[in-house]
C-alpha cells in the first residue's frame, strides 16, 4: 500500500486536527526510522494508521476488546488506552494489513512495552514529539530524540506517567513495564 492510498483510507476515520497530527507522526516516524535503522516503509504505514480507531465509539472498542482476545484488563483503564490495541485489530481486519511489526507498532504506540522493537520505539516517540504537539517537556524530548532513541522514549514515558499521576488517572501496567524496560536498556549501555 502506498502513502497516498493509506492516507485516503485513514482520513475518513479522523478529525481534521487528528489528520494533521497523523501527518506529523508520519513525517517524524520517517525521520526517526532513517536515523535509527528501522524499516522506513513500515514506519510510514504504522504512523499513518496509528490512530485509526481513535474516534470509534467507546462501546464498540470495548466490544472488540472482549471479542478479539485482547487483554481484558484494558477495560479497567481509560478509553485512551483502548484505541491502540483496537486499532491494530481493525487495521488488520478492515484495511488488510497483516504485517506483525506494523500491527505491533500500532498496538503499543500509547503504552509501549518492556521489550519494544526499534519500529515500536519510532512510532511511540513520533506520536509524542511530532511538530504539532505543544506541552511542557516535549521540546526536551525532541532534543533527546536527536541523540538517543532509548533515552528519548524513556523521557516520554516518564513525562506521561507524571502527567497521569497529576491528573489522578489510572496508569496501565504496560506503561510501567515500558519504563522499566527502557531503564534497563540505558543502564546496560
**Confidence class for position 43, pLDDT limits 50, 70, 90:** very high
Contacts of residue 24, Cβ cutoff 8 Å, sequence gap at least 6: 130, 131, 132, 133
- Which percentage of the chain shows pLDDT scores above 70? 100
Tell me what pLDDT residue 132 has. Answer: 96
Tell me what pLDDT residue 52 has. Answer: 98
pLDDT tens, residue by residue, 51-92:
999 999 999 999 999 999 999 999 999 888 999 999 999 999
Closest CA to 87 of 156, 149, 169, 18: 18
Mean pLDDT of 152-173: 96
Q: Check pLDDT > 90 for residue 161.
A: yes
CB count within 10 Å of CB 24 equals: 18
Tell me what pLDDT residue 75 has. Answer: 95
Tell me what pLDDT residue 137 has. Answer: 94
Tell me what pLDDT residue 189 has. Answer: 80
**What are the residue ranges spanned by the domains of the chain?**
3-188
Tell me what pLDDT residue 28 has. Answer: 98
Mean pLDDT of 23-30: 98
Residue 31: all three cell numbers together: 525521520
Mean pLDDT of 113-137: 97
d(CA 47, CA 3): 11
Top CATH class, 3-188? mainly alpha
In this prediction the pTM is: 0.96
Average pLDDT of the residues of the chain:
97
Distances (CA, A) of 136 to 139, 148, 150: 8, 20, 20
Amino acid at each position: 500500500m502506498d502513502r497516498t492510498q493509506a492516507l485516503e483510507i485513514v482520513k475518513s476515520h479522523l478529525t481534521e486536527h487528528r489528520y494533521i497530527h497523523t501527518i506529523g507522526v508520519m513525517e517524524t516516524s520517517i525521520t526517526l526510522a532513517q536515523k535509527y535503522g528501522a524499516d522506513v516503509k513500515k514506519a510510514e504505514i504504522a504512523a499513518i494508521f496509528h490512530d485509526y480507531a481513535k474516534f470509534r465509539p467507546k462501546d464498540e472498542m470495548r466490544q472488540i476488546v472482549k471479542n478479539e482476545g485482547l487483554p481484558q484488563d484494558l477495560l479497567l483503564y481509560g478509553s485512551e488506552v483502548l484505541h491502540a490495541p483496537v486499532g491494530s485489530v481493525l487495521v488488520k481486519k478492515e484495511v488488510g494489513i497483516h504485517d506483525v511489526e506494523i500491527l505491533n507498532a500500532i498496538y503499543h504506540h500509547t503504552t509501549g512495552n518492556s521489550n519494544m522493537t526499534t519500529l515500536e520505539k519510532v512510532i511511540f516517540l513520533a506520536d509524542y514529539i511530532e511538530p504539532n504537539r505543544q506541552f511542557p517537556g516535549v521540546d526536551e524530548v525532541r532534543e533527546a530524540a536527536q541523540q538517543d532513541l532509548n533515552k528519548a522514549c524513556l523521557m516520554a514515558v516518564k513525562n506521561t506517567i507524571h502527567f497521569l499521576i497529576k491528573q489522578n488517572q489510572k496508569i496501565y501496567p504496560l506503561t510501567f513495564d515500558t519504563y522499566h524496560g527502557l531503564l534497563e536498556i540505558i543502564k546496560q549501555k
